[in-house]
Every structure is written in C-alpha cells, then in structure tokens.
Structure 1
Amino acid sequence: MQKEQKPFVEIYADGACSGNPGVGGFGAILRSGKKEKEISGCDKMTTNNRMELLAVISALEVLKKPCKVAVTTDSNYVVKGMTEWIQGWIKNKWRTSQKKEVMNRDLWERLLKASSGHEIEWKWIKGHNGHPENERCDKLAQNAIKNCQTIRKQRVDDRRQTEG
C-alpha cells in the first residue's frame, strides 16, 4: 500500500501594531491548490512580535491534518526563532544565550505545538516591498487593528452614555 502524500499548503502571514506595545492585528492567507482562506485577529494591548507569531500560529492551527507547509513572512524574528534559536532555548530551559527569559515563551510553545506533524519550510521576505500576499496580509492586520480600535471606542462611548 502506498503512503498517502501530505497536502501542500502555502501560508503567508504578517502582524502589525499601532504603538509597540499597543493595539495589534495579524493577517494570514492559507492556500492549497485552488482553495484559499484568509484569517485575521487583533489584541487591544500587545507587541508587533506577538502579532507576527500569532499570524503564523493561527494559520497553522487551521490545518486539520499533517501537511507540507511553506510559511512566508516578513518577520525575521519568527523565521530565525524557528530555524536557528528555538532548539537552544529549549536546551537552555527557555533562556537566551544571555541567560534571560525568552520573550513570548507562551507563543513560541504554542507555535511549536502547532508546527508538530507538519513539514515546514520557513521563508523570509522583505516586508512592504510589493509582494502581493504580504501586502494582503498587512492589509488584513491593519483592518483587524481598526476593528479592535472601533470596538474599544464603542465600549468607552457606551460606558460614558450609561454613566452620564
């Protein structure tokens, strides 16, 4: 019996922050053959690096079975983290080479879990450089930030009306 071929999925991901820390958003595109899905989300108080991580994590968590995946991002932090730094962090009990705690450990652990079972190729591209999918992901992230800010503003306005 022949071993079943893993589906190939392209993931494009980007995160953004209005202020750092501040309101953040992420966007990702998943593409497999002719199927395509866009996802996005926001956080009212976060950092750009957390949003970059969440973009990739959220996309990988959508996958229902083991896949061959090409992750394309403009985040050196994510790419180098997964290809160069993470094994050392784990070996050093989540400490950097400077003996400091690894920032965003919760998300790195979540990314490790989301990555398991997949064959992943990590690709870095220069951001805001005309790459169509990267530009779309950035737009998704920016729109998520606007939505988060609108919801936050509505809550403040609602509170003022009920207090006034």
Structure 2
Amino acid sequence: MSQWKIWCDGACAPTNPGPCAWGSVIQSPHGDRTEHFGFIQAMGTNNIAELTAAIESLRKIPEEVPVLLCSDSQYTLKGLGEWLPGWIRNGWRTASGSQVANKVLWQALHKEYQARKVTLEWVRGHNGHPENELADRLANRGLQ
C-alpha cells in the first residue's frame, strides 16, 4: 500500500532557547515531493520546534491516510509512541506527577496523529540521511 512520507525537523538558533523554526519534506504516494518551512517564535526551545515540525507537516497530509513520519527527535517520537497514552490517562501529568511540558503542542500533535494512520520512524540526525538533512536546512531557512 502506498503511503505519504514526512521527514521533519526543528531548529533553534543561535541558542536554545532562542528563535525557533521548522522544516519538512513531504512525499506523496505518487512520489511527488514538496518542501515546507516556517518561523515559529523569537523565544522558544528545540522541543517546541520539533513538535511544531511534526504538527505542521501532518496538517499538510489528508486525514485517514497512511503516513510514515520520520524524525531525528526522540522527544517527539517517544512522546507519540510511548508517553502520550499515560499522560492522557494521568490528566496531562507525567509519571512523576508534574505537568507535561508543551501540553498545548502535544494536544495539537495528538489530534493530527489520531486523524491519520501514522507509523513512526527515527532517523539519526546530522548523519547524512538526505531527506533529514534537507528538513534541517529548511528549518534553518525558517530562522532567516
């Protein structure tokens, strides 16, 4: 079965926290590719940038379709694949009882994730993966 593919990344520079942006490469089931990026805010964190990259990328994909979401962010992927059910069950609190950081972004990402048939894949960042490297360059372009 054909699926959409997303490679997304966030950037925060020159410091973290600092200005942050996101970038992504999206491939349709037919092989067509589009590039996307955007500035987020003047004072944010890398985690905010990574979450926003996934949210904005998924929003560009039709609902109810299979999607492979590739990211170098363990925070994003583990959050979606492992931590989110517990956070929701615990009223958006972590296992230690503290509030989930970036709750509004996690809620938005969860909504987009649920609307599609998403498979998660981790790619090592800054390791020569062509689409991940391009997503990184696009995120940095969003900072300019």
- Same fold judged by TM-score > 0.5? yes
In the alignment, is residue 8 of structure 1 matched against residue 3 of structure 2?
yes
User: How many residues align structurally?
Assistant: 141
Q: Secondary structure at the match of 1:64?
A: coil
TM-score, length of structure 2 as denominator length: 0.94
The aligned runs of 1:130-149 (5 Å cut-off) are 130-146=128-144
Q: Which has the higher helix share?
A: 1
Aligned residue number for residue 60 of structure 1: 58
Aligned residue number for residue 110 of structure 1: 108
Uncovered stretches (5+) of structure 1, i.e. residues with no partner = 147-164
State the Cα RMSD in Å.
1.2
CA displacement at 1:21 relative to structure 2: 1.1
Aligned residue number for residue 36 of structure 2: 39
The code of the aligned residue for 1:38 comes to E
In the alignment, is residue 90 of structure 1 matched against residue 88 of structure 2?
yes
In 2, the alpha carbon distance for the partners of 1:123 and 1:71 equals 6
CA displacement at 1:62 relative to structure 2: 1.1
> 1:51-86 CA distances to partner (integer Å, 9 max, x unpaired)?
001111001111233210000000000000001100
Q: Runs of 4 or more off by more than 3 Å in structure 1?
A: none
In 1, the alpha carbon distance for the partners of 2:99 and 2:82 equals 17
TM-score, length of structure 1 as denominator length: 0.83
The code of the aligned residue for 1:126 comes to R
Q: Secondary structure at the match of 2:143?
A: helix
Uncovered stretches (5+) of structure 2, i.e. residues with no partner = none
CA displacement at 1:117 relative to structure 2: 2.6
